[in-house]
Amino acid sequence: MKTNQAKRIFALLLTAALLFTLFGCGRAPQEEPSGAPKRLNVVCTLFPQYDFVQQIAGNKVELTLLLTPGADSHTYDPSPNDMVKINNCDLFLYTGDLMELWAADIIKSIDKTKVTVLDLSEGITLSAVEHGEEEEEEEHEAEEHEHSVDPHIWTSPKNAAIMVQNIAAALEKLDPANANAYELDAKSYCDKLDRLDAQIREVVDSAPIKEIVVCDRFAMHYFCKEYGLKYIAAFDSCTSETEPSPAMLTRITEHVKKNHIPAVFYAELSNRNMATKVASLTGVQTLELHSCHNVTDAQFNTGVTYLDLMEQNLNMLKLALGVVK
Ligand SMILES: [Zn+2]
């Protein structure tokens, strides 16, 4: 596996180098023939940071999201064209070495005198996911995941604020002419994140139930940790599994009945198989818990934001935690 991946990346690098040569893409970033100030060219891997850059930089930067809307972030592989975009930008943002496992080799090859690389998990305390009994029985699979430390840092608005500050600091340094605007917009966006944080805390504190049941892949570790929510989840965060074992189905179904859980969650962009099964066996409703890895094409085109998705999560939580019926 590793050797094949290395070969693939080498082939991609060769293609990227060839494209540079053919199309002469390596022009200096500060020279624009029109005389207009050149906008900073920013490339990001996943939706959360794409949205954060939009919120604090708007059209002051030229922004590219590598992950196609609707695509599964876990099976993403950079295309030769993506490699050119990364090598040609001024600022490359990624979540962290544990999230974008493909990024490490690319980052090694980037000309750091031209491209600033920002690991957005800087300053964020990573923590390990608690594995359920089922997962411990399947040791061989856990090894493949390579992240017992959870990489989905953005699911906590507190972490999101640190990511925003990391982005603002990089933008201010690379584009000093707009530094004040970036600083102010980052500040006002962090205020919005603070308000969201307070709202979630209020809902969880007032809730009769302090636990969620996720019949799907689970990526909300930092979210649950931040607000003291317990969780029971069917699958590990980044697995491709969607079909529950009979034992897991029984365990979750019994848990829902015994604890009078009013609703179970499925993840975004999911086939909802397991949640539908649990609902049919228990009569509870199914709700979406959006982890913000990526959004659909339609959502992307209407400009949905991280705050929109988290507010949607908050409304779903009110139902699942028994705050509203
Ligand atoms: Zn994930």
Helices (H), 147-238: 157-174, 179-206, 221-227
Q: For position 146, what pLDDT does the model report?
A: 46
Cα 49 to middle of ligand 1, angstroms: 14
Single out the residue of 48, 80, 46, 42 nearest to residue 62, CA to CA: 42
pLDDT of 1 strictly over 90: no
> Which whole number is the average pLDDT over 194-206?
98
Model confidence, pTM: 0.86
CA–CA distances in Å: residue 114 to residues 87, 257, 263:
8, 58, 50
**Pairwise pLDDT comparison (89 vs 12), residue with the higher score:** 89
| Choice between 191 and 74, residue whose per-residue pLDDT is larger | 191
How far away, in angstroms, is 150 Cα from ligand 1 center?
9
Candidate from 20-34, 267-281, 304-318 with smallest mean pLDDT: 20-34
Q: What is the pLDDT of residue 5?
A: 63
**In this predicted structure, what is the pLDDT of residue 73?**
87
Q: How far is the CA of 127 from the centre of ligand 1 (A)?
A: 15
What are the structural domains, with CATH classification, of the chain? 2-191 (3.40.50.1980), 204-320 (3.40.50.1980)
Please enumerate in sequence order all residues whose Cβ is within 8 A of that of 277, keeping only pairs 6 or more positions apart, or say none: 215, 244, 249
Q: What percentage of the chain exceeds 90 in pLDDT?
A: 72
pLDDT category, 26, cuts 50, 70, 90? very low
Overall average pLDDT of the 36-61 stretch = 95
| Integer CA distances (angstroms), 53 to 49, 88, 102, 129, 170, in order | 6, 18, 22, 28, 11
CA distance linking residue 162 with residue 22, whole number of Å: 40
How far is ligand 1, taken at its centre, from the CA of residue 23, in Å?
A: 35
Task: Find the 18 Cα to ligand 1 centroid distance in Å.
Answer: 32
Residue from 75, 63, 49, 234 nearest 153 by CA: 49
Using alpha carbons, select from 236, 220, 251 the residue that is nearest to residue 320. Answer: 220
